[in-house]
Structure 1
Amino acid sequence: MANKDEIIIHVDSEIQELIPKFLENRRQDVEIILEALKQQDVETILTLGHNMKGQGTAYGFDTISDIGAGIEKAALSKDSEGMKKFAAELLDYLQRVKIIYG
């Protein structure tokens, strides 16, 4: 039985080898976003959000695409609190996601 806090994602086994690195890169994105916020480097955050928005669904992670879109939108409007909120949401998602390959 799944933990109620887990988020179960079904991913095609053909891309199984790519998933751990994809998720690790998203964890690194959170760190980069938080550091970029300290430096007021909105361009970096905008680029990361845009890339996440495009890549998430391709790997089977629609939520990552949605969060990426939120990050991108917050960066476009220079909304620091929004960028922090979406970075925290991404980190929470990454901590709870469980992959089932098939």
Structure 2
Amino acid sequence: MIPGYLANRYKDVSEIIEALALFDYEKILIAGHSMKGSGGGYGFDTITEFGAALELGAKNKCSEYIFQEVNNLKRYLDRLEISYEEFS
């Protein structure tokens, strides 16, 4: 489930960048809201924080802030390393 969730966040990054070029703040707001709601459920509180920031940026129509946050999100995803532990 985790690899699929993270792959979807990469899709969000691409879609947010495209939406930003079109000034489609509604699409960015929806993506941010979704990340804000789902990140913690998958154990990624940082993704929740990025989602909240993107949602806020979209509400305020602040392109520079959104651009900064979506790039920070991509850097976070690029550096993320997942390890699994077996439970007995």
TM-score range, shorter chain: over 0.9
The alpha-carbon deviation at position 72 of structure 1 amounts to: 0.4
Aligned length: 85
Q: TM-score w.r.t. structure 2 length?
A: 0.94
Matches within 5 A, 1:15-34: 18-34=1-17
Mapping 1:1-102, distance limit 5 Å: 18-102=1-85
- Deviation digits for residues 47-101 of structure 1 (CA, Å, limit 9, x no counterpart): 0000000000000000000000000001000000111011001100000001122
CA RMSD of aligned residues (A): 0.6
Identity over aligned pairs, percent: 47
**SS of equivalent residue, structure 1 residue 29:** helix
- In the alignment, structure 2 segments of 5+ residues that lack a partner are none
- Residue 61 of structure 2 aligns to a residue whose secondary structure is coil
Letter in 2 for 1:33: I
How far apart in 1 are the matches of 2:71 and 2:27? 17
| TM-score between the two structures when normalised by the length of structure 1 | 0.81
Task: Return the structure number with greater strand share.
Answer: 1
**d(CA) in 1 for partners of 2:26, 2:79:** 28
Provide the C-alpha distance between the structure 1 equivalents of 2:69 and 2:37, rounded to a whole number of angstroms.
Answer: 16
Consecutive unaligned residues of structure 1, counting only runs of 5 or more, are 1-17
